[in-house]
Structure 1
């Protein structure tokens, strides 16, 4: 392909893009305490609309009999945030009410004349829904606020619940990045769900093909690839020809999946791994790509008791980040940043120390929630907290392949009731939302699947679709 910067496309695979500066930084979250982990701190309600924390959400008691939408409100204006004229933004939140209501949310100047950059009507019911609105600001101000206008309705009072509120700025990718060199994400024509659908024609195959196999997702590479260079060429080459961006996962560390055990294995030792990584990076070469480096590798450090083995893992990850930087210059490499659950159990400070030890300056960013189920909003909060502890904050991508219904307690291995999350896109509160785990691939012989780890299970796929 000719590597020239391309404009944004309007097709479904186009990017709505978070601004990564030329020296990449984390996506900027404009809302404080959007997941209400600190109760209702930084949020306000009008005097007739008291707000309070309720099971990790904000609850507002809205009076009846008000004439205007703005007669009963809640929102956030402290701290005020900036809006830039002509810049793109994404507002997203979860909401429900005790009765169906049609409400208004605004992003606006927080003083007279309260000019709005976004004035959006939305309808809530008694079940929680996720709302997302993309808009371009007509304002240039440092004094913006977010409001939810809840009044002006026929009927009596009602209760309103709000959660996982996010407002982020989006814009075009930097020139010369793998995103600017391509024209959308690559859809793998030989993914596990696609191969299963092709081999098992019928109604189930059509459903899986339409909902999963036709969407962009990562391809995983490990010791099962007996011709690593050939297999990477067979994947990256067609993507390059089509001007699409492929996502690859490197998954071959010795002692892999030390905590979970279902995906154990990996290279024979440190020397073998370094050879494998050098081959991996060389096979990509100058072609644009995204690489997710060794999911679980940082979290698993807590399950490795041998100090020499732990130090070897740190050396191998450092080597890998350096080699991708040297040998694959048009690749953005994302180191493992585990997930919210591990962040809680290990602690943010220790997680940051682990990441700082692997030469994070050679990574473009971090990959979070890989093969897990935490919601996008709570994952953004976790990553913002983690970035505050890192020596250099990093942009991050979130695995949304199975997080549509959030987690099921502490259960991580094929838990029931999970759902597909947002398809691959740039933005959404992170640098990118990606399907890193292949939807329908089993976590192991556990939970709702009897298939070995990495094996496609059509029933798991159907569950993700239908839930």
Structure 2
């Protein structure tokens, strides 16, 4: 019995009516047709509740957010249908119950609700009127803790921490509205006190709300190869143990994980072939371990469009086990426009296909790419706290082939002691940087 993801089985009816039941045969019959389910109510079904069909074994959790969606039409214009999710026995408590008038053309319906109870219930559809009617139904989905219910907003982000410490600052309302209230990734690394416990707590709250947390794991051995964000695990064995603890922390709860930004793009910065081989094996270890979790979606970092050429990026991703993951991320902590990122990502997927790795998706970090990566002279900006950048599209469903657009880098967090934030260490929130991104200067 699924608890997260799509809770309805055979919602497209491609497997006939498997998993679905119907009420009295004198009142209603259900058959699978070429376009989904055909449910026909007889003239004996004079009341809406007389003809009913549905599916049992629906797991509901109190306080969780769910989305019910389906596409329906009727043989008669204006026929009424009711959709219900709730208890399948007395007292028949409903978590959601909606009535709708159907037209003779397919119409998509979407209802979002919060469950008032924890129970094993059912989803059901009711139809019935004075004359016989057939309802055509397909793409029935009841989802929880997926992107459909929304990404989780970190209540303890660096921006939120700064606002808590500066409630009366004149910039606080602007930062709250433009940054802190929007969902983005929480980064976990060597500053995390207890990766297992901290991840467990974070994904538990997100799952309770029925939302998808975005998580960045950033603890690679020899991280950033001595750069502004240097650090990470003390040894390869320490890193593998850290990943093992992260896997236990996430468990069976949903999570979207971006794995080790820059780790593959910086392969050329490592001192030896032995170090490069070791780095690839560590990323592959993490990719396999995380992707084996039942509700975790993993993206390996694939750098950005002006760093490593697509054939080389694809080769590194393939060697690092991207076949085990959903795909890869581009533009993490960078500024390239969405169109540039999509072109780069599609070039990578084509190269991966040539290497025999097909069907990988990609996500784009849009946290700071609202103005793209070119300055007023048409020159590509530096990677480290450049001026003139702007917030990009908030975390959402993707475009132009991307799975999702995500705020992976936290807007306002410094890239290091450089650019327009000299003196602000990497990973430290700066209201000055935040306001520049909000206003685009």
Q: Give TM-score scaled by structure 1 length.
A: 0.61
- Secondary structure of 1:334's counterpart equals strand
- Describe the shift of the 1:177–1:361 C-alpha distance in structure 2 as closer, same or farther (beyond 3 A): farther
Instruction: Tell me if structure 1 keeps the 8 A contact 2:4–2:144.
Output: no
Q: Is contact 2:7-2:141 (8 Å) kept?
A: no
Alignment-derived partner of residue 460 in structure 1? 433
State how many pairs are aligned: 299
Choose from 229, 235, 256 the match for 1:290: 256
Task: Describe the superposition over 1:305-351 as per-residue Cα deviations: whole angstroms up to 9, x where unpaired.
Answer: 3111111101101100111122x2200000011000113xxx22222
1:370 aligns with 2:332: yes
The residue number in structure 1 matching 2:397 is 426
- 2:194: which partner in 1? 227
C-alpha distance in structure 1 between counterparts of 2:438 and 2:186, whole Å:
20
Aligned to 1:191: 157
Contact persistence 2:218–2:232 (CA under 8 A): yes
SS of the aligned residue for 1:221 comes to strand
Match of 2:241 among 244, 256, 275: 275
C-alpha distance in structure 2 between counterparts of 1:188 and 1:236, whole Å: 11
* Counterpart contact for 2:366–2:405, Cα < 8 Å: yes
Per-residue Cα deviation, 1:290-311 (whole angstroms, up to 9, x for no partner): 0000000110001113111111
Matched, 1:405 2:367: no
Residues 1:200 and 2:170 aligned together: no
Q: Secondary structure at the match of 1:250?
A: strand
Per-residue Cα deviation, 1:166-209 (whole angstroms, up to 9, x for no partner): xxxxxx999989626x6111011100001111210132111100
Cα deviation, 1:376-421, whole Å, max 9, x if unaligned, reads: 0110011111111003241100000000011141401000010000
Gapped regions of structure 2 (runs ≥ 5):
9-34, 36-104, 106-138, 375-379
1:437 aligns with 2:409: yes
SS for the counterpart of 1:374 is: coil
Give matches, 1:30-429, under 5 Å: 179=146, 183-202=149-168, 203-258=170-225, 261-326=227-292, 328-343=293-308, 347-390=309-352, 391-393=356-358, 394-408=360-374, 409-429=380-400
| In structure 2, distance between residues paired with 1:308 and 1:173 | 51
The higher-RCO structure (CA 8 Å, 6+ apart) is: 1
- SS of the equivalent of 2:436 reads helix
Is the 8 Å Cα contact of residues 5 and 145 (structure 2) preserved in structure 1?
no
Given that residues 302 and 328 in structure 2 are in contact (C-alpha distance below 8 angstroms), is that contact kept between their aligned partners in structure 1? yes
The verdict on how the C-alpha distance between 1:237 and 1:353 changes in structure 2, with shifts beyond 3 A counting, is: same
- Which stretches in structure 1 are left out of the alignment for 5+ residues? 8-84, 86-137, 139-171
Which residue of 2 is the match for residue 81 of structure 1? none
Q: Once superposed, which parts of structure 1, at least 4 consecutive aligned residues long, lie more than 2 Å away?
A: 1-7, 172-180
**Cα displacement string for residues 101-141 of structure 1 (whole angstroms, at most 9, x for unaligned residues):** xxxxxxxxxxxxxxxxxxxxxxxxxxxxxxxxxxxxx9xxx
SS at match of 1:388: helix
Distance, in Å, in 2 between the alignment partners of 1:205 and 1:6 is 40
Structure 2 CA distance for aligned equivalents of residues 465 and 189 of structure 1: 20
Query: Hey, what's the Cα distance between the residues in 2 that align with 1:362 and 1:439?
Result: 30
